[in-house]
């Protein structure tokens, strides 16, 4: 089995995503989190996930 050469980038982006989600959660946790946090964090999270998937499959 070939090793994915982009795994360090995927790991770094995954760690960045986890830190980003934790910061957003600590700053915006309320009862109505969907209404209080806005759409910006959701766009950022989806872009990071798409980038992780793209880099992972590009390295295969």
The string of pLDDT tens digits covering residues 2-21 is 778 888 998 999 999 999 98
Q: Which domain holds residue 42?
A: 7-58
Query: pLDDT confidence of 23, banded at 50, 70, 90?
Result: confident
Q: Is the per-residue pLDDT at 55 higher than 80?
A: yes
Q: Is the per-residue pLDDT at 39 higher than 80?
A: no
Residue 23 lies in a domain: yes
Using an 8 Å Cβ cutoff, are 51 and 13 in contact?
Answer: yes
Residue 35 lies in a domain: yes
For the chain, how many structural domains are there in total? 1
Alpha-carbon gap, residue 51 to 35, rounded angstroms? 26
Residue 2 lies in a domain: no
Residue 22 lies in a domain: yes
How many percent of the chain have pLDDT more than 70? 82
3-state secondary structure 5-53: CCHHHHHHHHHHHHHHHHHHHHHHCCCCHHHHHCCHHHHHHHHHHHHHH
């Amino acid at each position: 089995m070939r090793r994915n050469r982009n795994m360090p980038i995927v790991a770094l982006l995954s760690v960045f995503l986890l830190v980003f989600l934790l910061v957003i959660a600590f700053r915006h946790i309320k009862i109505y989190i969907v209404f209080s946090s806005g759409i910006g964090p959701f766009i950022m999270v989806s872009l990071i996930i798409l980038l992780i998937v793209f880099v992972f499959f590009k390295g295969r």
